[in-house]
Amino acid sequence: MLIRQQLEIINRKSLRYPLHIAEKDYFLALVLQNRN
């Protein structure tokens, strides 16, 4: 499971993927997982 630090590291490696988008995708994935 990704944590914020890992998202920040990913963000530094891929500047075209802003952190706020990464966080939104991450939390969306969590919500979808919790529904199942």
12 close to 19: Cβ distance less than 8 angstroms: no
pLDDT of 10 over the 80 cut: no
pLDDT band at 1 (very low <50, low <70, confident <90, very high): low
pLDDT recorded at residue 24 = 86
Q: How far is CA 18 from CA 13, 15, 28, 35, in A?
A: 11, 6, 16, 26
pLDDT band at 6 (very low <50, low <70, confident <90, very high): confident
User: What is the pTM assigned to this prediction?
Assistant: 0.41
Q: Which residues 6+ apart lie within 8 Å of 26 measured at CB?
A: 2, 7
pLDDT recorded at residue 21 = 79
pLDDT recorded at residue 26 = 84
Residue indicated by tokens 């199942």: 36
Question: Is the C-alpha dihedral spanning 33, 19, 12, 4 positive or negative?
Answer: negative
